[in-house]
Amino acid sequence: MELISQVLALEPISQVLGKEPIVPFAILLVVILVVPILFERLRLPGLVGLVCSGVVLGPSGWNLFHSDLPMMNLLSDIGLVYLMFVAGLEVDIHLFNQRKNRSLGFGSFTFSVPLIIGILVGRIFGFGWNAAILIGSLFASHTLLAYPIISRLGIVNNEAVTVTIGATIFTDISALLVLAVCVAIHAGAFSLVKLLTLLVSLTIYTLVVLIGFDRAGKEFFRRSGDDQGNQFLFVLLSLFLAAVGAQLIGVEKIVGAFLAGLAVNEVVGEGPVKEKVVFVGSVLFIPIFFVDLGLLINLPAFVSSLSTIKLTLFIVVGLIGSKFIAALLAKLVYRYNWQEMLMMWSLSMPQVGATLAATLVGYRVGLLPASVLNSVIVLMLVTSTLGPVITSRVGVGLTASASEEPEQINLSEQNPERMHSDFTIVVPIHNPQTQQHLMEMAALLARQSQGRIIPLAIATGAAQMDAPYLAASLQRSEQLLAKATAQSQSLGVVAEPLLRIDDAFAPGISRAAREQQASLIIMGWGKRSGLRSRLFGNVIDNVLWASHCPVAVTRLVESPKKIRRILVPVENLIAPSLQTVQFAQMLAEANQAQVTVLNVCDRRTGSSKIAARRSHLSQLVSKLALPNPPEIQIIPHENIAQAILQAARLYDLVVLPFIRNRTCPGGLAISDVTTELARQLTCSIIILREPQRTQTVVSPNGVPNITATVLSAQLEC
């Protein structure tokens, strides 16, 4: 009786959900916030948790949600087009151009082989040719879900990796074109004239979007200057205009969304506007799309239907096998080794963005049955888990070979000891509480490099130069600079204070540093964070993106003169990751401190491999030609962040690299070690950002999490 009363009690709740949209929206926010964190603790991708939440909340579970709710339909549709837009926005066109011919070659293999296998699977299970071809196209695309892993391992420039990344453009565009044709054929009587008309319309539309939106975007961004709010709105407008335009010519809106992402790709670049665009979709719309997918799963019918289980098995095995064959063909044609072949296979295996979007479109128009939708969702869960696991294991083997290539090592470019004698350090002055320690840090480095310090104060401008608040800002800036000058004199270094009037703090800092030919910018941060910082950025966020020189973001808990032991965690055993070592060594020599370089390897690593890693890291460090070589430590541990936290207890300062988080479509990422360490370390921290090094890391929860934005949201001058 108690069970019956509980079931009956749910009926009014479902009625309330249908009448009051604010209630289901609040529930969705709770699910998006809590569930991925729980699945992260279980070491499962967060997207799995979102889909499972849809199953539990939907008709197969508590029956609280239905996909036909108007609010759910709207948010899910926005998430669907946003997913494809981000997929186009995250395509690395520069990497594609580096290996264009081989990218097209592998793209042909990893598109055609899965396409053929998918068509065979469709025909075996009795689907018509149109539906079978669409199923084949679902096999043909892939999502670079493991990109953050290869970036963290430092193997993005490996040729096999670059080729696989470049092939994404070919496979996604081709798969979407097949989808457009199949849906058009399904919608009406097929004829050659209609097909040719569709292809011509699609070609004209594609050219208009790719060329027109690109030129309009460049012109708008040029005229809007630093107005990120209007630039953000322009990018969103481009997305929805392209989606509407696609529907007007009889093509699915996800095709237009993907093309819009490609069109504005170069316009937004890797700047803060892109991060904000991705952030909005990643934290809200795209997770709701995955929850909606779970609502569509009919779990009892799936479990009880033997034919559906067989179809799922054929689809999963067929996809994994066909991607393996495609990677094997690339190995034979381009003579890659087995590790590179396995890397190409694992990177091209995950099926998330284009696959799910195309499947849902095919299901909604009636071209694909529910059994295919359920099977593809299972395929997504399997491949999004298996692919990154294989990538992380194979990638470790590629790291050493990639680091042995001479062109990957450029140690002198940003080595502070080898820079010109006029080593200029710009210290933005804004927060009196951090000013003393910042000046002490700058003084140590300036004395060591025989350079100079430029304390910089920014007074925000106004339309009228006699505005009262501008006068007050100038007076405050002059007081801060006077204090900084006095501090520098007591520290025994030359200071050249600079007062600048600018529209905003961040552009003023970046422009002044460029004008003064700065070698380094030193900034401090506080602990405040908020939604506004995440959406619209703050001073440090924008300086990190815009600066031409290295930026050291510091959180100093005591005077830098007391620093005696410095820890430098190194994830990538390649030269670019050693820039933090060079910086730490420069600070150590100015302060008679000792540097320890730490590398954390898998806890199952044998003693012989640990010795090999230590030897390899020692060789890399020796190429820096440092007068006092740092100590090398290799620690086997299952959790990189926890290992560093334990080791950091014995140190006064930890120097970390700043790593931008490039999200996969939907922010489906893996964990950012730097962010976790910045939150938990109790000693002093310096996060060093090298110019033009847009590396990426992840976040293992599979939830929307933009590391650079989240990290910089905690920073404050």
CATH number at residue 531: 3.40.50.12370
The token pair that represents 342 in the structure block: 């396995």
Name the pLDDT band for 27 (thresholds 50, 70, 90). Answer: confident
Residues 345, 433, single domain; the answer is: no
- Which pLDDT does position 463 carry in this prediction? 59
Name the pLDDT band for 190 (thresholds 50, 70, 90). Answer: low
The token pair that represents 472 in the structure block: 């007050």
Give the distance, in angstroms, between the CA of residue 102 and the centroid of all CA atoms in the same chain. 25
The token pair that represents 573 in the structure block: 């055993």
The token pair that represents 248 in the structure block: 């007007």
Select from 485, 518, 519 the least CA-distant residue to 499.
485
Residues 394, 510, single domain; the answer is: no
The token pair that represents 597 in the structure block: 């370089």
pLDDT above 70: percentage of residues in the chain? 83
Q: What is the DSSP letter of 654?
A: E
Q: How many CB atoms lie within 10 A of CB 623?
A: 12
Residues 393, 475, single domain; the answer is: no
Residue 277 covered by a domain: yes
Q: Is 457 helix (H, G, I), strand (E, B) or coil?
A: strand
**CB neighbour burial string for 431-443, b if at least 16 within 10 angstroms, e if fewer:** eeebbbbbbbbbb
Do the beta carbons of residue 355 and residue 138 sit within 8 Å? yes
Euclidean distance between CA atoms 661 and 504, whole angstroms = 25
In sequence order, the 6+-apart residues with CB closer than 8 A to the CB of 400 are: 573, 616
Name the pLDDT band for 716 (thresholds 50, 70, 90). Answer: very low
Q: Which of 402, 427, 458 is the last residue of a domain?
A: 402
Euclidean distance between CA atoms 100 and 108, whole angstroms = 12
Residue 407 covered by a domain: no
Sheet holding 520-524, edge to edge: 498-502, 452-460, 424-428, 520-524, 551-555, 684-689, 653-657, 565-569, 594-601, 631-636
Residue 254 covered by a domain: yes
What pTM was computed for the model? Answer: 0.66
Reply yes or no on whether the pLDDT at 117 is more than 90. yes
Euclidean distance between CA atoms 62 and 188, whole angstroms = 39
The arithmetic mean of pLDDT across residues 480-499, rounded, is: 85
Residues 431, 528, single domain; the answer is: yes
Q: What is the DSSP letter of 284?
A: I
**CB neighbour burial string for 98-124, b if at least 16 within 10 angstroms, e if fewer:** bbeebbbbbbbbbbbbbbebbbbbbbe
- Which pLDDT does position 672 carry in this prediction? 58
Pairing of strands 551-555, 631-636: unpaired
Euclidean distance between CA atoms 688 and 259, whole angstroms = 35
Q: Which of 402, 432, 454 is the last residue of a domain?
A: 402
- Which pLDDT does position 660 carry in this prediction? 57
Residues 474, 562, single domain; the answer is: yes
Give residue 97's domain range.
2-402
- Which pLDDT does position 670 carry in this prediction? 35
Pairing of strands 684-689, 551-555: antiparallel
Reply yes or no on whether the pLDDT at 379 is more than 80. yes
Do the beta carbons of residue 567 and residue 448 sit within 8 Å? no
Phi, psi of 555 (to 5 degrees): -130, 100
Reply yes or no on whether the pLDDT at 421 is more than 80. no
Q: How many CB atoms lie within 10 A of CB 592?
A: 9
Burial of 317: CB neighbours in 10 Å, binned 0-12, 13-18, 19+ = middle
Amino acid type, 595:
V
Residues 489, 363, single domain; the answer is: no
Euclidean distance between CA atoms 254 and 244, whole angstroms = 10
Residue 408 covered by a domain: no
- Identify the residue with better confidence: 143 or 348: 348
Euclidean distance between CA atoms 153 and 637, whole angstroms = 16
Do the beta carbons of residue 582 and residue 606 sit within 8 Å? no
Of these ranges, 7-11, 60-64, 166-170, 208-212, the one predicted with the greatest mean pLDDT is 208-212
Euclidean distance between CA atoms 134 and 357, whole angstroms = 12
pLDDT above 90: percentage of residues in the chain? 12
Give the distance, in angstroms, between the CA of residue 204 and the centroid of all CA atoms in the same chain. 32
Residues 377, 420, single domain; the answer is: no
Residues 389, 433, single domain; the answer is: no
Beta strands in 371-528 (DSSP E): 424-428, 452-460, 498-502, 520-524
Beta strands in 466-593 (DSSP E): 498-502, 520-524, 551-555, 565-569
Number of DSSP helices (H) and strands (E) in the chain, helices first: 31, 10
Reply yes or no on whether the pLDDT at 404 is more than 80. no
Pairing of strands 565-569, 653-657: parallel
The arithmetic mean of pLDDT across residues 9-22, rounded, is: 57
- Which pLDDT does position 529 carry in this prediction? 46
Do the beta carbons of residue 684 and residue 653 sit within 8 Å? yes
Q: What CATH number should be reported for the domain holding residue 309?
A: 1.20.1530.20
In tens, the pLDDT along 453-471 reads: 999 988 876 656 666 777 7
Reply yes or no on whether the pLDDT at 715 is more than 50. no
Total domains in the fold of the chain: 2
Residues 538, 654, single domain; the answer is: yes
Reply yes or no on whether the pLDDT at 253 is more than 80. yes
Name the pLDDT band for 81 (thresholds 50, 70, 90). Answer: confident
Residue 410 covered by a domain: no
Residue 245 covered by a domain: yes
Residue 201 covered by a domain: yes
DSSP string, 326-340: HHHHHHHHHT--HHH
Do the beta carbons of residue 381 and residue 316 sit within 8 Å? no
Do the beta carbons of residue 44 and residue 701 sit within 8 Å? no
Name the pLDDT band for 705 (thresholds 50, 70, 90). Answer: very low
Beta strands in 503-577 (DSSP E): 520-524, 551-555, 565-569
In tens, the pLDDT along 644-702 reads: 899 899 999 999 887 655 444 433 333 456 777 877 888 999 988 876 543 333 333 33
DSSP string, 342-373: HHHHHHT----HHHHHHHHHHHHTTSS-HHHH
Residue 409 covered by a domain: no
Handedness of CA 624, 625, 631, 634 (dihedral sign): positive
Of these ranges, 139-148, 293-302, 465-474, 545-554, the one predicted with the greatest mean pLDDT is 545-554
Reply yes or no on whether the pLDDT at 418 is more than 80. no
Residues 261, 118, single domain; the answer is: yes
Amino acid type, 390:
I
Euclidean distance between CA atoms 324 and 41, whole angstroms = 31
The arithmetic mean of pLDDT across residues 340-361, rounded, is: 88
Largest interatomic CA distance in the chain = 85
In tens, the pLDDT along 538-596 reads: 677 778 777 888 899 898 888 888 899 999 988 766 545 678 888 898 888 888 889 99
What mean pLDDT value characterizes the chain?
Answer: 79
- Which pLDDT does position 417 carry in this prediction? 41
Residues 199, 241, single domain; the answer is: yes
Residues 27, 113, single domain; the answer is: yes
Reply yes or no on whether the pLDDT at 703 is more than 60. no
Reply yes or no on whether the pLDDT at 354 is more than 90. no
Q: Which of 402, 435, 460 is the last residue of a domain?
A: 402
In tens, the pLDDT along 629-656 reads: 888 998 888 888 888 899 899 999 999 8
Reply yes or no on whether the pLDDT at 368 is more than 70. yes
- Which pLDDT does position 525 carry in this prediction? 78
Phi, psi of 597 (to 5 degrees): -95, 120
